[in-house]
Amino acid sequence: MIIVTGAAGFIGSNLVARLNAEGYRDVVAVDDFSREDKNRNLAGKELTGKVHRDEFFTWLSENHRFVQFIFHLGARTDTAEFDRNVFRVLNIDYSRRVWEDCIRYGLPLIYASSAATYGRGEKGYDDDHRLIPELKPLNPYGESKQVFDMWALEQEKKPYFWAGLKFFNVYGPNEYHKGRMASVVLHAWHQISKTGEMKLFRSHRPDVKDGEQKRDFIYVKDVTDAMVWMMQQRKHSGIYNLGTGRARTFLDLARSVFAAAGKPERIRFIDTPEDIRDKYQYFTEARVEKLQREGYKKPFTSLEEGIRQYVKEFLIEGRYE
């Protein structure tokens, strides 16, 4: 039995689909299941059961002998939320209980960290454990992920295998419910479909041209491929970056969406809102050598191909994975 917390969410539901495709049918979904728009992400998936997140620890105490692996992806991911108590409860305290139960019951664990821990990237984007204490996130969400990463590294007792994955800018199917927190690809698709144009934030730095802010955009199918591979390999525990290792511009992204949609390019630049301007990342790029040294050799999907698949196979028809 494999547990996926946050299973009704974006990455969680894609992971369930990937597990099913690999022949794993004994999957238990953990979430709050209170939003019908998120629950659609699980339609058609093969599941052994669903467990409300508030009841999970009681359920695990009664069923742990049947569990082989836990993916802990459940979290509050709103980067515009500034109530630190929300993140403490869901991203720190809950994650600590998952970790401690994995030790108690002898279970391996993969949990979701985030590239938001890197802040402006002053220290680079290297997942070397020695550098992690120096990172300075820009918002409470990133801080919560950094706090848990640091806590995990400091623990004397750890699950016999564990991995924290720093997801970079993930895009792909099943993010319809995410609203303003959805990927730029989904926002671009909505704008282009409705207005025929795409608005991008202009640069407020003299060394970066408008639209040439860069991010490491990774297709969700690459993320789930890597997670399933890590579950199967279980080599060396630790914190790993999960990005493509290649930063691309927002102009590249916008042009790829126009091309996939079969629409002429119309791009307009607008000011970055002042409330997020000082927290805006102009560049992210994962160092992925550590993951590759573990033996992960599968090529990552190019931005152009990932967007082509996402738009043509999912967004045009409103289809779910």
* Residues designated catalytic: 141, 178
Beta bridge partners of residue 232, listed in sequence order: none
Query: Both tokens of residue 49?
Result: 């059961």
In 3D space, the residue among 283, 317, 250, 270 whose CA is nearest the CA of residue 125 turns out to be 283
Residues 267, 239: Cα–Cα separation, whole Å:
38
Distance of CA 185 to the CA centre of its chain: 14
SS3 at position 67: coil
Token pair 């929300």: residue: 86
Q: Which ranges in the chain belong to alpha helices (H)?
A: 10-21, 36-39, 56-63, 84-87, 94-105, 140-154, 184-195, 220-233, 250-261, 274-277, 289-293, 303-310
